[in-house]
Chains A and B, each alone.
Chain A
Amino acid sequence: MVTTTEIWRWLEEVSDPEIPVLTVVDLGVIRSVETDGKNAHIVITPTYSGCPAMKMIEDQIIEKLKEKGVVNCTVALTLAPAWTTDWISQEGRNKLREYGIAPPENEPDKTVLFAKPTVVPCPKCGSSNTRMISLFGSTACKAHYQCNDCLEPYDYFKCLK
């Protein structure tokens, strides 16, 4: 008999294809896990509408569960409630920082127009004397920053809520 607790633990072995340091559980894209003891049904949500990693995440989940002996696993996609960076776990945030990606800052949802760039501390030296290079980075979920002190260029996992 397979339990949901076991499945959740197995899902921690599935990493995000774009940011392999994070598991799909850290990222908060797993919305629910159901099992009747034999089959499994998992609901996932995309980080961004056009996130190209979703299909791969789905395939990897099915593959992982098959490896653990769950032959019938279905994965469904849900859009609501919409994913937010608040769902990234504390452990996930620590892993991001160690990997060199600044985790999302808890930005208040201020007005879109005329807003100053968020202050994002450098993941390498911790300095807050940094600047935004571009609102968009190497993937849809990241922006591009540089540290003015140690000069490290880095990705910022932008706050989405």
Chain B
Amino acid sequence: MNQAQVEFVLRIADDSLILGHRLSEWCGHGPILEEDIAMTNIALDLIGQATSLLNHAAALQGEGKTGDDLAFLRFDRDYRNLLLVEQPNGDFGMTMMRQFLFDAYRTILFERLQASSDEMIAAIAEKSLKETKYHLKHSSEWVIRLGDGTEESHARIQESLNTLWRYTNELFYTDAVDEEMHRSGILPDLSDLREQWEDTVNRVFQEATLSIPTNNWKQEGGRKGMHSEHLGYILAEMQYMQRAYPNMEW
């Protein structure tokens, strides 16, 4: 087993899993029916991506575990998702802002991963990219509509950006895992990731009349398993059935 490769796949998989779970909390609570459907559809895409990625991670581990075992039976410190994706939904604008900051990053990541030397990762990236581009279209349009909307919508989504901005530095987090993935060709060159991402967000924020916060405090830790208090609550809800009734299926 290649430990770094498992770690790398878990990072991408957990981003999809946790954000998908977060978005699914909107089911039945959307501000309008169409957006309720949109958010649950996006959640479905993300959970589908998580399924493929976690199955792949389980296969790479070679310990006889399944993707479901990894989704439902790890402890909080074993999850590798970004702090950004575990942040609470807040209002609809907050959810769209979180989604936009993430989609802008994911689109670039999946574009590059299509050339991964790990054929399974390349296949999942090619498939997921088509979905992610569509998510980006949706989230960027809402950021513009709310930012360049009424006085209240503008103030509220600007506040969401102020709250979430501190978590964006982690999108570009790299460590020995990434270095090893680069060396083996599993992770193609991403040195311009931040530049490309900033280009997308700056263009959209300009159109949305939003300004990037000047407070540059950055919070990170998710990639190393150091999470905010919110993850525990998500896992409690997500894992309850498997913990209470081991191996149950329906």
Contacts A48-B44, A136-B37, A136-B41 given; does A79 touch B138 at CB 8 Å? no
> Which of A24-32, A66-74, A111-119 participates in binding chain B?
A111-119
Q: Per a CB cutoff under 8 Å, which of A80, A140, A158, A160 touches B44?
A: A140
Cα distance, A16 to B38, chains bound together (Å): 22
The answer to the question of A49 belonging to the interface, with a C-beta cut-off of 8 Å to chain B, is yes
The answer to the question of A108 belonging to the interface, with a C-beta cut-off of 8 Å to chain B, is no
Which chain A residues border B128 with CB–CB below 8 Å?
49
The answer to the question of A37 belonging to the interface, with a C-beta cut-off of 8 Å to chain B, is no
For chain A, the bracket of interface size reads 20 to 34
The answer to the question of B203 belonging to the interface, with a C-beta cut-off of 8 Å to chain A, is yes
Closest partner residue, chain A, to B204 (CB atom): A113
Chief secondary structure at chain B's binding surface: helix
Contacts A48-B131, A49-B45, A50-B51 given; does A136 touch B123 at CB 8 Å? no
Cα distance, A144 to B34, chains bound together (Å): 8
User: CB within 8 Å of B: which of A29-80?
Assistant: 46, 48-52, 78-80
Cα distance, A51 to B49, chains bound together (Å): 10
A112 touches B107 (CB 8 A): yes
Cα distance, A46 to B200, chains bound together (Å): 30
Contacts A134-B37, A136-B37 given; does A113 touch B140 at CB 8 Å? yes
Cα distance, A160 to B186, chains bound together (Å): 26
Cα distance, A114 to B134, chains bound together (Å): 12
Q: Per a CB cutoff under 8 Å, which of A52, A80, A115, A158 touches B123?
A: A80
Which chain B residues border A78 with CB–CB below 8 Å?
123
A49-B124, A82-B130, A112-B137 given; name 17 further pairs at CB < 8 Å: A46-B127, A48-B45, A49-B48, A49-B51, A50-B45, A50-B49, A82-B127, A83-B127, A112-B133, A112-B136, A113-B200, A135-B38, A135-B141, A136-B41, A140-B44, A140-B45, A144-B34
